[in-house]
Amino acid sequence: MSSLPPFSADDALASLLADALRHGRPVDDSAFDALLSQTARAKSGGFWSAVEVAQTASRWLSEANATRVLDVGAGVGKWCAVASLTSGHRVWGLEQRGPLVFEARKLAQRLGAEVVMLEGTLESVNASRFDGLYFFNPFAEHIADKYDLYDETITPSLDTYLRDARTVEGWLRAAKLGTAMVTYNGLGGRIPTSWACQKKARLAGHVLRLWVKTREETDREAFVEVQDLLITASMLARLSKEFPQSPLEDLLVSRLVADWQP
């Protein structure tokens, strides 16, 4: 007669955390991150959404009637697992690093979260399958200093940054009315003005916004998130010409608006 595998301390912790998340109770990030690998745990604060952020974003998406949600740049699946347990729905995550996809799948299994991890880039996804999207500044590594990279599998490239931001803008322009999106610490690209910002909160040091597509496309105008502010791309273009040495240059505004005039 075979014996059952031993019930580890990590299994006990995962069970407690999953129960708390299913019932909407607060969960400390250090407790949750104890389930992650050593590297993922050490870099969690800069790369993975805090539990409170994931819980809030998941609730907002549910209130906006989103039931098929995709986290772009899901990493080790922390947001996906928390969102699935909070909402009671299956959640999808997109991640291009194979080892992180593997870890995300193990995390979801340990927590009993219904998460589907997709390994690939933006081009591998049919965005029309989803009525909810989550973005935690997903393109930032493409323009980061080498010391701010998660690992050496990403080579910083402004062209890649712009390509990915344009791809997501295309998703947003093609999305059906009523599609919902949450951005945290900015999308990093243009958001068409056919999307309305319906909620905003500052959590864990960054701004969380709920967006809903409320009208059909009528022009090429768009919003750009600049820290706490929303500003149109056309206004940014004017500002970057009037104040060429301003801090706006640090946000690569000159390239963003030059390539994407409305």
Looking at the structure, do residues 236 and 176 belong to the same domain, yes or no? Answer: no
Q: Whole-model pTM? A: 0.89
**CB-CB contact of 66 with 88 (8 Å):** no
Confidence (pLDDT) at 151: 73
Looking at the structure, do residues 189 and 235 belong to the same domain, yes or no? Answer: no
* 192 within some domain: yes
Q: What is the pLDDT along the chain (262 residues), one digit of tens a residue?
A: 444 444 456 889 999 999 999 999 999 999 999 999 999 999 998 899 999 999 999 999 999 999 999 999 999 999 999 999 999 999 999 999 999 999 999 999 999 999 999 999 999 999 999 999 999 999 888 777 765 767 777 777 888 888 999 999 999 999 999 999 999 999 989 999 999 999 999 999 999 999 999 999 999 999 988 778 888 888 877 776 776 655 544 545 555 555 554 4
Looking at the structure, do residues 125 and 231 belong to the same domain, yes or no? Answer: no
* 52 within some domain: yes
**CB-CB contact of 156 with 142 (8 Å):** yes
Q: Number of structural domains, the chain? A: 2
Render pLDDT for 203-245 as a digit per residue (tens, 0 to 9): 999 999 999 999 999 999 999 887 788 888 888 777 767 766 5
- Give the list of residues 6+ apart from residue 32 with CB closer than 8 angstroms, or none: 17, 51, 78, 82
Confidence (pLDDT) at 76: 97
Looking at the structure, do residues 148 and 247 belong to the same domain, yes or no? Answer: no
Looking at the structure, do residues 129 and 62 belong to the same domain, yes or no? Answer: yes
Confidence (pLDDT) at 9: 63
* 238 within some domain: yes
For residue 237, the enclosing domain spans 223-262
* 240 within some domain: yes
